[in-house]
Every structure is written in structure tokens, then in C-alpha cells.
């Protein structure tokens, strides 16, 4: 009995104590019309408090719902409700702001900040996005609080995917469940990714197909769908009909809904991201859903607003229970606010909100401990990452790729990094080019169908900037020029109209091109315009030394030689003072020479050589004739030597054109650049400028308003500006501009000589390459109008910065020099040409070799003569019997060879022996 009496005595006290700790909390709930799920979750939280009296809470809400676009009506409605609460002495402990975005939401932020009302907001926005709460002071950051909803934090996973996959372009499509206005700049900030963020236009498939086509035309290959499963299905179905699935595109679907992806796709793989409840919260989530009928979708959003409401209730109660809620809270009405009378609050709602220990329903809240928490607080849920494959409208499998934990800068957590790379779009850039050796050379055996300097360059860039490419030739075969109407053709047109991503060839950087496309840093030296002409060929001849004199001169010399030799023989034969006619007189002379006809021919021949003619005739007439022949020979040899030297020198000085000025001052050689080339543009514009200058000068000089002094200053005899390019342009048009390099080279080769024919004006690299690979062409003059070669990309393309970085790396590693070495100095197509005679070089063997032939012919003739002599003496005069038996006189002759006293006058001995030894001794 005592125990029962004690219990009965204590129970009223316990009940009274419990009733004293129950806190009545006045809530001003402000919501917008299209966020009904938040209000339902608030009602569930209120019901949860009612069913759990141990929490000691009694919630008395006043609910205001407004339109996000009608700020004025919204504010009037809120102020009316708020003023009514003050009139009823039910001042709100806290404002629960469930507005999402827009001017209505900002109006509520302004309202709460101006009246210093403690507020917990679930609005969208990161740091700085809540405009009316940007400049809060330290006290205000403790009671004006915001936690981002899951729909605001889930798109941050796109940043993680883009960073992990090195995605350079993206289209982000979202529906009405997500607010992306504030993410246009912040979502992919400081990431080199060209992206478009756009809402789904409608649920019509045709409208979505049109929208996807417009995005694809922007060269977007990575698509992110952020929305409900219904929205994801509609977009994927439209993409399938547009045939946007394959290796060149990647699809990512992000949703807050439960369930799997469904679409009518024939063959598609989609990377699917969806949140999952925290492991420690799944039981509580199931209990809340079943017990309190929290069945709103998306599940995670309903749980967020439930936890946000419940945590707010408990935070206010904690402050009230602990006595940290100020007793002198001052409130003013909307009408009393004058812009300067905002009440001063010392309430630390932030700390109380963060320290609430209630078990989360879906995932815990992340609230930073340092100030401020606005734009940095969120539900820290986990997201599954999987690859879903759909065949013929049915999902045939799902492969787990990893997960992502909600955060503002959290990376992906992958089970296998290689798996994720398999589901990203391959960067396949479209390259348009022009065949230009050695930069671009058509080669069917090459991997991409082309080879050359530029192909090696783009392959080196690929090692730094990961991508693949398709390469095609310019449709109209032009680099890109602008017509009078401002329309472009060639490679530049393809880039402007976005049919190509990269223009890769020997493309010159020009001012007008830079207005419509972007160029990377130059990858090649400055290249100018120069002249290609036919290589002058100096005619060579082994007997060129014979061409110094004309044929009739040679014949005259030969006739003089024979005539003089004949006269010398006649004079010696008939002169009484010659040796043969006066032997007694000259018997004691050491020089005894009988000038037979043979001796005369020999004498005249040797007299023309440095060796001299030998013994001269004895008779005076013969000597006079010999002296005359010597004088004749001296003059002939001196004239021949001088003319030979001059002839060989003049033949090597035939260089009529050495510069552009030389070309412009002559008329025998036609010249022109390629039609549509940068060289043509240069000459056309230079001529146009000269014409403009002439018109300006004419207008000045013929101006009637000039004074006599001013007119005198303009009175010159000659036009002060050159018309060189005007004349050249006219000559080029008359000559006809070739349409291809092959045509230009053929016209050069058909030239009669280097001083008559055709000269091509083109890029120095083109001229240099064709000179390198042809032995009949030459490059003439210095380069002019020099411009760099660079890679062209679409205007505003991120490829510019990426390629700039790559090219600079290659330049620092000297790889560009190696490419130049490979395609110029070590080019397999280079020809090894014979060296042309230079003015400073000596006489070549081709021009003087005939002299050696003369020597060889003389030696051969001498050998033949020796053979004839041997045959004559050995076989022509055969020995007789009497010659064989007459041996004794021969012995006497041999034994007394040195005894000249016994030798009779006029005796001559002639050996008849057949022995070769006697024959040799005789000779």
C-alpha cells in the first residue's frame, strides 16, 4: 500500500514536471506553390512530434504559400500573416523557408533579414547565391541559416565526372525538379570544359529531338540528363531516334527517384547515378514511411524536408530549455520597418541546429563548424554509379562502377578506373585539311589515310591532349579566302560553319582569318612568298674547247697548216741553199735536217706547241716562211686561249632573275601565284592599296579648295607612290593564275629557259619542297610577306588553350625541330642532283674532257702505228737465201763496229736476221 500511495503521490508531480518541459513553438512556414512535397514533409514532422510526447514539443504553424515570380503579392501575404501572429501575441520562434529560388525566394530572404527573424531555409544556392543574405554580419549568420536540398547538391556530381573523365564539352539537360540558374557559372568553374546548361523544352518527343540536334550542332558529345525517370526516358528515346548513341557520344543520367532506367533504345549504354539511403538510416526511413505515411517522391527530398523541419523544432527547443533563448526578443511589424530599425539579435541558432542528436532519416547533414554555413551545408548522401546497358528497349545488365558522396568538391570513388573510361565518349575531332607536301601527304597505307609533318605533329599533340580524330580534305580544295561579300570558302568556312573542329595544314595566320577562327601558337617558322623558276642548265660538251672557234676558222687554220707545210717542202726542195741541195757545205754542221714533205708537216705541227718545231730550214726563204708560221701560230693560240676562258666564264653568268624586282621589270617571263592562295591575296591587295593611294593623291592634287601654297607643295613631276604591284597584278592576270601546284610546276618546267617561260610565286615551303624533290627547279630571291603557320580551331574553342600548351611543350622538348629534320633534311623523296657549275668553281670535266679524249686518241694512234711498224719490218720484207748465207760480212761488222777507218764511204748495212734481238738493237 505504501508503494502504491507513493506512486500516486509522485505521478502528479512527474506529470506536472513533464508538462512544464513541453515547449510550444510558433512556426511561420513559407513555401512556394510548386513545392508541395516540402509542406507534406513538414506535416509529417509535426505529426511525428505529436506522436512522440517525450520530445516535449508542441508545434503551432502558420503556413504561407506564394508564387515565386510574383514577389509583391507574396510579400504582402507573408506580412499579413506575420502581423497577425504579432497581433495574436504568437510571435514566431523561427521561420521555415521552403522557397526554392527566384524573386519570391529572395523576397523572403530580404523579409527575414530586415526583421531579424530566426530562419532555417531549404532554398537552392551555394555561397553567395542568396543575394539578400550575402552581406550578413556575424550575429546574423547565427540565426539566418540555409541548408541546400538534395536537388541542389546532386548536380555537383557532374563536376566530379567531368574532372575524372577529362571531358571537354558537355550538355546538361534538367527538368522542373532541379534549379540550375545559379549553376551556369559555378558548376564547372575553372574547368576547361565547354558546356551548355538548358532545361528540357517540353515533354514532346519531337521538341526534345530538335533540342538535342541543336546541342549536337554545337559539337557536344557528352550529355548529362538531370531529372526524374520520366524525363530521362523521354530524352533517351529522342536521342535513340536521332541515332546519338555510339562511341562518339556518352550519356549520363542523374536522378533523385528510385527505380531503374527504362527507354526504347535499340542499343545504348548509360551511366546512371542515383542516391541511396545511409546504412544507419534505412530502418528509420522505413519506419517513418510506414508509420507516418511519408510516401512523397522523390524519397530523398521528402526525407530532407522532414529532417530539416524536425531538426529546426529540436534546435529551438534546445535553446528554450537551456535558457539561451533571449527573453527580450523584440519584433517589429512590416509597416514599422524603416530600413534602419532592424532588431539586434544575439541568438545562436546555428550551434543549436548543428548539435541536434536526432537520427537522420536518409543521410546526415553536413554543417561546417566555421562561419558561415550558408551555401556550404547539405545532406551528405551517397550516390551509386553504374553502367546500364539497354538492348531493344529492355535493360540487359547493370555494371557497378563506383560511388559518389555528396559534396561540393568530392571526387568519384571508382571500383576500377579503367571501367569508367570505357563509358566515356571518345573525343573524336573532325580535322579538315589540304594536301600540301611535306605537311600533308595522301597515303592510303597510313592509319588515317595521310602522312606528313602535320600528321606527326597532331600525333604528338594527341599524346598530351587525349583525343582521336577523323581527317578529310577541304571540299572545295581551298585554304580559305574571303570574297567581296564577306563569305569564306575552304578550311575556314568548314570551321565557321562548325563542320570541322580543327584546320590542320600549312595554314598561314592572317588578320581576316583571326576575325572568324582562332589560331594556336605557331608550330612552324615564319614563311613568306618566294619565286620558283626553271633551273638554268649550262650546256656541256666534251669538245666544248672546239666550239670556241667557228667551224670555218678551224677549216682555215687546217688549210693554212697544210699550205704552209707544202710551201716549206717546195722551198727546201728548190732552194740551192737548202740542206739537201748543198750537203757539202753543211757536212760539218751538227744539225742536219732534210725537209721532206713529212718533215714539213711535223715541223708546222710541233711549232704550235710549247715544245717548238725543232731545227729550222737552212735556206733563207724557208726560214722566213717558218717565222711567218710561228707568228701565225702565236696569234692563233693566244686568241684561242683568251676566247676559251671568256667563253667558259660567260656561260656560267646566265642568271637573269634574282629578286621580285627583277621579275617585275622584265616581260619575257610570265609569273603568277596559285588561284585562291594567300600569295594571290597578297598581290591583289597590294595592287588595290596602290590604286587607293593613287585615288587619294589625285583627290588631293585636284582639290579646288587648296591654296596656291598648298597646291605648290603637291606639284611634283612624278607620282610619289610606286605602281609596282599594280603592274605585277595586271601581268599575273594576263598570264593566267594556275589552279593547282601541279599545274604551276608543269608550266615552270615547260619554260624554254630560265630567261623565258613561266615563274611561280608561292609559299616558300612549297617551293623549297618541290626544289628538294626535283632537279630541274630552283628557288629564286628572298622571302617576303612572311607569316607563321598555325593550327586553326573554331572561335572560342577550348582546343586553342589545350593545343597551345601541347605545342609549347613540344617546342621546349625540341620535338618540332626533330619533325623538321625528318621531313626536310632526311626526307626520303629528296633528290640527289648534280651540282651546277658555279661562277667561283673551275672548269668542269664535262667541258674540258675532250682534251683527255684527244690524249687517249693520240696514244691509241701511236700504239696502232707501233703495231704497223712492227708488222712492216717483220712480215712485209721477208729474208731471202742470199741474205741468210751472207753471214761473214755481218760478223766483220759486229766485230769492228767501233772501227770506222775500215768502213767504205757510202756503205750501209741492213740486217736481215729474223731474230727479235737484232731488230730491237737496230731501233
Verify that 160 and 267 share a domain, yes or no: yes
Q: What is the mean pLDDT of residues 817-822?
A: 91
| Domain termination residue (choose one: 359, 375, 391) | 375
The number of folded domains in the chain is 3
Complete DSSP assignment for 650-670: HTT------SHHHHHT-SSEE
Verify that 86 and 29 share a domain, yes or no: yes
Verify that 33 and 169 share a domain, yes or no: no
Verify that 141 and 45 share a domain, yes or no: yes
Structure-derived torsion over alpha carbons of residues 497, 498, 500, 503, reported in degrees to the nearest 10? 70
CATH number at residue 559: 1.10.287
**Cβ neighbour number for residue 702 with a 10 Å cutoff:** 10
Verify that 262 and 388 share a domain, yes or no: yes
pLDDT above 80 for 72: yes
pLDDT band, very low/low/confident/very high, at 885 (cuts 50, 70, 90): very low
| Domain termination residue (choose one: 392, 420, 448) | 420
Binding-site residue ranges for L-glutamate: 508, 513, 678, 763
Q: What is the mean pLDDT of residues 135-148?
A: 91
**170 assigned to some structural domain:** yes
**63 assigned to some structural domain:** yes
What is the pLDDT at residue 204?
87
**355 assigned to some structural domain:** yes
The dihedrals phi and psi of 432, each to the nearest 5 degrees, come to -110, 140
Verify that 213 and 234 share a domain, yes or no: yes
**505 assigned to some structural domain:** no
Q: Express each pLDDT in 832-861 by its tens digit.
A: 877 655 544 555 656 566 656 766 776 777
What is the pLDDT at residue 78?
93
Helix axes 102-115, 71-87, angle to 10 degrees: 30
- Burial label for 340, CB within 10 Å (0-12, 13-18, 19+), is exposed
What is the pLDDT at residue 13?
34
Verify that 240 and 164 share a domain, yes or no: yes
**203 assigned to some structural domain:** yes
Whole-model pTM? 0.59
Verify that 138 and 197 share a domain, yes or no: no
Verify that 411 and 272 share a domain, yes or no: yes
Q: Express each pLDDT in 780-794 by its tens digit.
A: 888 988 999 999 999
Q: What is the mean pLDDT of residues 57-75?
A: 90
**559 assigned to some structural domain:** yes
pLDDT above 90 for 133: yes
Q: Express each pLDDT in 716-728 by its tens digit.
A: 777 777 888 999 9
Query: Among 240-244, 819-823, 906-910, which is the least confidently predicted range?
Result: 906-910
Helix/strand/coil (H, E, C) string of 601-638?
Answer: HHHHHHCCCCCCCCCCCCCHHHHHHHHHHHHHHHHHHH
Binding-site residue ranges: 508, 513, 678, 763
Q: Express each pLDDT in 418-432 by its tens digit.
A: 777 778 777 788 999
Question: From CA 797, how far away is CA 194, in angstroms rounded?
Answer: 8
Q: Which of 455, 418, 421 is nearest to 435 (CA)?
A: 455
Complete DSSP assignment for 768-781: HHHHHT-SSEEEEE
Question: From CA 485, how far away is CA 493, in angstroms rounded?
Answer: 14
Q: What's the chain's Rg over C-alpha atoms?
A: 54
Question: From CA 568, how far away is CA 581, in angstroms rounded?
Answer: 14
Q: Express each pLDDT in 221-241 by its tens digit.
A: 899 999 999 999 999 999 999
**506 assigned to some structural domain:** no
**103 assigned to some structural domain:** yes
Question: From CA 167, how far away is CA 250, in angstroms rounded?
Answer: 10
Verify that 263 and 409 share a domain, yes or no: yes
- As a whole number, the mean pLDDT across the chain is 83
Verify that 222 and 90 share a domain, yes or no: no
Query: Among 239-248, 526-535, 873-882, 896-905, which is the least confidently predicted range?
Result: 896-905
CATH number at residue 402: 3.40.50.2300
pLDDT band, very low/low/confident/very high, at 16 (cuts 50, 70, 90): very low
What is the pLDDT at residue 917?
42
Verify that 247 and 325 share a domain, yes or no: no
Distances (CA, A) of 643 to 545, 547, 693: 10, 10, 53
What is the pLDDT at residue 845?
59
Q: Which of 405, 404, 407, 403 is nearest to 368 (CA)?
A: 407
Question: From CA 754, how far away is CA 206, in angstroms rounded?
Answer: 68
pLDDT above 70 for 897: no
What is the pLDDT at residue 651?
53
**Cβ neighbour number for residue 424 with a 10 Å cutoff:** 19
Number of residues that this document lists for the chain: 923
Range of 579-588, 609-618, 686-695, 894-903 with top mean pLDDT: 686-695
What is the pLDDT at residue 892?
40
For cell 592576270, what's the residue? 733
| Domain termination residue (choose one: 342, 375, 408) | 375
pLDDT above 90 for 65: yes
Q: Express each pLDDT in 442-484 by its tens digit.
A: 998 898 899 999 999 999 999 998 888 999 999 988 888 888 8
Per the structure, the complete domain to which residue 307 belongs is given by 23-149+297-375
Q: Is the model more confident about 238 or about 654?
A: 238
What is the pLDDT at residue 837?
52
Assigned C-alpha cell, 215: 546541342
Q: Express each pLDDT in 487-522 by its tens digit.
A: 999 999 999 998 899 999 999 998 889 999 999 999
Coil, helix or strand for 672? strand
pLDDT band, very low/low/confident/very high, at 380 (cuts 50, 70, 90): very high
Q: Express each pLDDT in 355-373 by its tens digit.
A: 998 899 999 999 998 878 9
Q: Express each pLDDT in 92-102 by its tens digit.
A: 999 999 999 88
Coil, helix or strand for 54? helix
Beta strands in 443-585 (DSSP E): 450-451, 468-473, 502-503, 517-519, 524-534
Q: Express each pLDDT in 585-627 by its tens digit.
A: 776 666 667 777 777 888 888 877 776 667 777 677 777 877 8
Amino acid at each position: 500500500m505504501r508503494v502504491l500511495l507513493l506512486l500516486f503521490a509522485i505521478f502528479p508531480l512527474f506529470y506536472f514536471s513533464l508538462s512544464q518541459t513541453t515547449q510550444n513553438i510558433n512556426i511561420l512556414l513559407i513555401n512556394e506553390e510548386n513545392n508541395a512535397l516540402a509542406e507534406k514533409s513538414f506535416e509529417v514532422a509535426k505529426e511525428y512530434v505529436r506522436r512522440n510526447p517525450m520530445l516535449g514539443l508542441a508545434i503551432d504553424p502558420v503556413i504561407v504559400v506564394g508564387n515565386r515570380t510574383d514577389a509583391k503579392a507574396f510579400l504582402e501575404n507573408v506580412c499579413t500573416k506575420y502581423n497577425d501572429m504579432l497581433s495574436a501575441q504568437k510571435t514566431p520562434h523561427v521561420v521555415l523557408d521552403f522557397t526554392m529560388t527566384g524573386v519570391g525566394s529572395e523576397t523572403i530572404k530580404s523579409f527575414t533579414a530586415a526583421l531579424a527573424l530566426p530562419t532555417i531555409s531549404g532554398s537552392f544556392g551555394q555561397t553567395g547565391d542568396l543575394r539578400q543574405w550575402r552581406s550578413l554580419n556575424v550575429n546574423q549568420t547565427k540565426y539566418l541559416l540555409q541548408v541546400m536540398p538534395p536537388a541542389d547538391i546532386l548536380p555537383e556530381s557532374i563536376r566530379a565526372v567531368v574532372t575524372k573523365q577529362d571531358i571537354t564539352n558537355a550538355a546538361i539537360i534538367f527538368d522542373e525538379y532541379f534549379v540550375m540558374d545559379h549553376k551556369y557559372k559555378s558548376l564547372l568553374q575553372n574547368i576547361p570544359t565547354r558546356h551548355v546548361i538548358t532545361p528540357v523544352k517540353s515533354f514532346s518527343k519531337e521538341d526534345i529531338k530538335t533540342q538535342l540536334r541543336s546541342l549536337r550542332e554545337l559539337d557536344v558529345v557528352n550529355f548529362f540528363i538531370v531529372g526524374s525517370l520520366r524525363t530521362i526516358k523521354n530524352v533517351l528515346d529522342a536521342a535513340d531516334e536521332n541515332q546519338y548513341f555510339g562511341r562518339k557520344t556518352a550519356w549520363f543520367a542523374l536522378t533523385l527517384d528510385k527505380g531503374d532506367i527504362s527507354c526504347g533504345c535499340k542499343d545504348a549504354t548509360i551511366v546512371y547515378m542515383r542516391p541511396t539511403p545511409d546504412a544507419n538510416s534505412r530502418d528509420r526511413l522505413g519506419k517513418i514511411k510506414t508509420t507516418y505515411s511519408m510516401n512523397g517522391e522523390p524519397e530523398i527530398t521528402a526525407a530532407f524536408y522532414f529532417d530539416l523541419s524536425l531538426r529546426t523544432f529540436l534546435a529551438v527547443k534546445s535553446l528554450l530549455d537551456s535558457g539561451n533563448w533571449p527573453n527580450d526578443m523584440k519584433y517589429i511589424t512590416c509597416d514599422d520597418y524603416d530600413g534602419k530599425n532592424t532588431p539586434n539579435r544575439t541568438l545562436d541558432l546555428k550551434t543549436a541546429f548543428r548539435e541536434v542528436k536526432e537520427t537522420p532519416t536518409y543521410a546526415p547533414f553536413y554543417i561546417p563548424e566555421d562561419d558561415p554555413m550558408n551555401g556550404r551545408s547539405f545532406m551528405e548522401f551517397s550516390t551509386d554509379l553504374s553502367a546500364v546497358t539497354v538492348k531493344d528497349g529492355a535493360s540487359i545488365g547493370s555494371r557497378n562502377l563506383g560511388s559518389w558522396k555528396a559534396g561540393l568538391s568530392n571526387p568519384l570513388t571508382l571500383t576500377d578506373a579503367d571501367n569508367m573510361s570505357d563509358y566515356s565518349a571518345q573525343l573524336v575531332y573532325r580535322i579538315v585539311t589540304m594536301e600540301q607536301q611535306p605537311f600533308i601527304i595522301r597515303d592510303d597505307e597510313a592509319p588515317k589515310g595521310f602522312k606528313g609533318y602535320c600528321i606527326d605533329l597532331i600525333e604528338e599533340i594527341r599524346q598530351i591532349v587525349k583525343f582521336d580524330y577523323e581527317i578529310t580534305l577541304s571540299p572545295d580544295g581551298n585554304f580559305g579566302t574571303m570574297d567581296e561579300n564577306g563569305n569564306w570558302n575552304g578550311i575556314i568556312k568548314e570551321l565557321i560553319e562548325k563542320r570541322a573542329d580543327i584546320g590542320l595544314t600549312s595554314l598561314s595566320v592572317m588578320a581576316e582569318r583571326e576575325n572568324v577562327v582562332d589560331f594556336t601558337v605557331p608550330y612552324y617558322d615564319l614563311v613568306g612568298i618566294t619565286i620558283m623558276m626553271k633551273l638554268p642548265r649550262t650546256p656541256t660538251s666534251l669538245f666544248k674547247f672546239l666550239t670556241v672557234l667557228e667551224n670555218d676558222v678551224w677549216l682555215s687554220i687546217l688549210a693554212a697548216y697544210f699550205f704552209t707545210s707544202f710551201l716549206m717542202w717546195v722551198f727546201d726542195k728548190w732552194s740551192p741553199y737548202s740542206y739537201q741541195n748543198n750537203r757539202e757545205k753543211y757536212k760539218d754542221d751538227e744539225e742536219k735536217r732534210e725537209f721532206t714533205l713529212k718533215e714539213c708537216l711535223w715541223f708546222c705541227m710541233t711549232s704550235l706547241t710549247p715544245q717548238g718545231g725543232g731545227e729550222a730550214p737552212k735556206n733563207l726563204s724557208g726560214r722566213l716562211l717558218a717565222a711567218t708560221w710561228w707568228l701565225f701560230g702565236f696569234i692563233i693560240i693566244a686568241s684561242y686561249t683568251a676566247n676559251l676562258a671568256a667563253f667558259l666564264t660567260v656561260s656560267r653568268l646566265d642568271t637573269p632573275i634574282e629578286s621580285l624586282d627583277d621579275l617585275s621589270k622584265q616581260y619575257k617571263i610570265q609569273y603568277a601565284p596559285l588561284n585562291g592562295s594567300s600569295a594571290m591575296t597578297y598581290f591583289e591587295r597590294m595592287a588595290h592599296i596602290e590604286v587607293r593611294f593613287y585615288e587619294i593623291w589625285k583627290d588631293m592634287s585636284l582639290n579646288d579648295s587648296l591654296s596656291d601654297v598648298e597646291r605648290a607643295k603637291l606639284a611634283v613631276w612624278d607620282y610619289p607612290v610606286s605602281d609596282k604591284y599594280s603592274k605585277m597584278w595586271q601581268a599575273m592576270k594576263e598570264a593566267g593564275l594556275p589552279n593547282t601546284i601541279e599545274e604551276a610546276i608543269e608550266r615552270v618546267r615547260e619554260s624554254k629557259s630560265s630567261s623565258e617561260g613561266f615563274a611561280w610565286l608561292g609559299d616558300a615551303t612549297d617551293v623549297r619542297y618541290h626544289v628538294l624533290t626535283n632537279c630541274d627547279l630552283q628557288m629564286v630571291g628572298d622571302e617576303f610577306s612572311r607569316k607563321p603557320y598555325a593550327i586553326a580551331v573554331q572561335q572560342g574553342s577550348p582546343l586553342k588553350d589545350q593545343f597551345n600548351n601541347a605545342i609549347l611543350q613540344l617546342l621546349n622538348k625540341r620535338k618540332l625541330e626533330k619533325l623538321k629534320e625528318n621531313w626536310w633534311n632526311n626526307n626520303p623523296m629528296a633528290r640527289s642532283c648534280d651540282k651546277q657549275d658555279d661562277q667561283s668553281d673551275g672548269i668542269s670535266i664535262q667541258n674540258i674532257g675532250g682534251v683527255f679524249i684527244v690524249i687517249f686518241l693520240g696514244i691509241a694512234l701511236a700504239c696502232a702505228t707501233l703495231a704497223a711498224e712492227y708488222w712492216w719490218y717483220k712480215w712485209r720484207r721477208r729474208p731471202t737465201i742470199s741474205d741468210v748465207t751472207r753471214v761473214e760480212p755481218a760478223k766483220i761488222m759486229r766485230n769492228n763496229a767501233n772501227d770506222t777507218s775500215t768502213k767504205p764511204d757510202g756503205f750501209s748495212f741492213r740486217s736481215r736476221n729474223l731474230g727479235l734481238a737484232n731488230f730491237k738493237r737496230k731501233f
